[in-house]
Amino acid sequence: MQPMLEPGSTIGILGGGQLGAMFTGAARRMGYRVAVWDPDPDAPTHRVADQSFSTPFANSDTRERFVDVVQAITLEWENIPAELCEWLEQRRPLRPASAVLRILQDRLTQKQFLSSCSLPVPDFAEVQSVDQLLQATRRLGFPLICKTARSGYDGKGQWLFRQPSDISQFERILNTQASGVRWIAEQFVAFVRELSVLVVRSGRGETYVYPVVENRHEQGILRESRVPASVSPSDAEAACELSLRAVAALHGIGIFCVELFQTQDGRLLINEIAPRPHNSGHYTLDACTVSQFEQQVRVTCGLPLGEVRLLSPAVMVNLLGDEVTAVMSADGCLETFSTPGASVHLYGKRVIRPGRKMGHVTFTAPEVETAVVSAEQFMLRLQRPHSTSPFQQ
Q: Count CB atoms within 10 A of the CB of residue 306.
A: 17
Q: Which residues, at least 6 apart from 184, have a Cβ–Cβ distance to it below 8 Å?
A: 107, 108, 111, 124, 125, 126, 127, 146, 147, 149
CB 123 → ligand AMP: shortest distance, Å? 9
> Which of 87, 142, 159, 188 forms a contact with ligand AMP (CB under 6 A)?
188
Please, which of residues 354-383 interact with ligand AMP by CB under 6 A?
none
Q: What span, in angstroms and rounded, lies between the C-alpha atoms of 48 and 52?
A: 9
Mapped onto helix, strand or coil, the DSSP state of residue 20 is helix
CB 208 → ligand AMP: shortest distance, Å? 23
Region of 143 on the Ramachandran plot (φ > 0 left; ψ -120 to 50 alpha; else beta): beta
Please, which of residues 218-237 interact with ligand AMP by CB under 6 A?
220
Mapped onto helix, strand or coil, the DSSP state of residue 118 is coil
> Which of 186, 214, 294, 323 forms a contact with ligand AMP (CB under 6 A)?
186
> Looking at beta carbons only, is 35 or 145 nearer to ligand AMP?
145
The residues pairing with 186 across neighbouring beta strands, listed in sequence order, are 124, 145
Pick from 275, 247, 269, 262: nearest CA to 106: 275
Question: DSSP letter string over 323-347?
Answer: GHHHHHSHHHHHHHHTSTTEEEEE-
Which range touches ligand AMP (CB under 6 A), out of 58-66, 183-191, 231-239, 373-381? 183-191
> Which of 36, 145, 244, 268 forms a contact with ligand AMP (CB under 6 A)?
145
The residues pairing with 209 across neighbouring beta strands, listed in sequence order, are 199
> Looking at beta carbons only, is 29 or 216 nearer to ligand AMP?
216
Please, which of residues 259-318 interact with ligand AMP by CB under 6 A?
259, 271-272
> Looking at beta carbons only, is 272 or 294 nearer to ligand AMP?
272
> Which of 217, 251, 267, 309 forms a contact with ligand AMP (CB under 6 A)?
217
> Which of 12, 15, 44, 122 forms a contact with ligand AMP (CB under 6 A)?
122
CB 220 → ligand AMP: shortest distance, Å? 4
The residues pairing with 263 across neighbouring beta strands, listed in sequence order, are 191
Is residue 194 within the footprint of ligand AMP (CB under 6 A)? yes
The one-character DSSP state at 186 is: E
- In the chain, the amino acid numbered 282 is H
Q: What span, in angstroms and rounded, lies between the C-alpha atoms of 75 and 78?
A: 7
> Which of 13, 85, 189, 247 forms a contact with ligand AMP (CB under 6 A)?
189
Is residue 17 within the footprint of ligand AMP (CB under 6 A)? no
CB 348 → ligand AMP: shortest distance, Å? 25
> Looking at beta carbons only, is 262 or 295 nearer to ligand AMP?
262
> Looking at beta carbons only, is 186 or 286 nearer to ligand AMP?
186
Is residue 195 within the footprint of ligand AMP (CB under 6 A)? no
Question: DSSP letter string over 149-167?
Answer: SBS--TTTTEEEE-SGGGH
Note whether 78 and 101 are within 8 A (CB). Answer: yes
The residues binding ligand AMP (CB under 6 A) are 122, 145, 152, 155, 186, 188-189, 194, 217, 220, 259, 271-272
